[in-house]
Amino acid sequence: QVQLVESGGGLVQAGGSLRLSCAASGRTFSRYNMGWFRQAPGNEREFVAAISWIGGSAYYADSVKGRFSVFRDNAKNTLYLQMNTLNPEDTAVYYCAARSTLPKRWDTDEYDYWGQGTQVTVSS
């Protein structure tokens, strides 16, 4: 079992930055592949970024590539999402997720565990 708790969301002006954190319980965090997703009102949940447990390879949605960075600190059981140059289209609830197996596609939403989400609002 893994419990995930996101934090770091808030209100920011366009062009600003935020860093989201996802604290994970359990002693095997380092063995989980981790992902970030978001869901805006009226929209389906969409993939944002993911990071593998092997080698820490990172993967991004085209919409955030070059602006967002996903990284992890296994010693702290924490996943991060650094978000730069935010725009109003990034407004959404952001979720972190964990899965124990390598996915066939990194943009899949088939994860084993999900957090409760944290709201990010970008004003124009």
pLDDT digits (tens, 9 = 90+) for 2-30: 999 999 999 999 999 999 999 999 778 88
Under the banding of pLDDT at 50, 70 and 90, the label for residue 40 is very high
Burial of 84 (0-12, 13-18, 19+ CB in 10 A): middle
pLDDT digits (tens, 9 = 90+) for 48-85: 999 998 878 999 999 999 999 999 999 999 999 999 99
Q: Which residues of 101-116 are buried (b: 16+ CB within 10 A; e: fewer)?
A: eebeebbeeebebbbe
CB 39 within 8 A of CB 45: yes
* Local structure of residue 109 (DSSP, 8 states): -
Q: Provide the token pair at 15.
A: 């062009």
Block residue for tokens 């085209």: 62
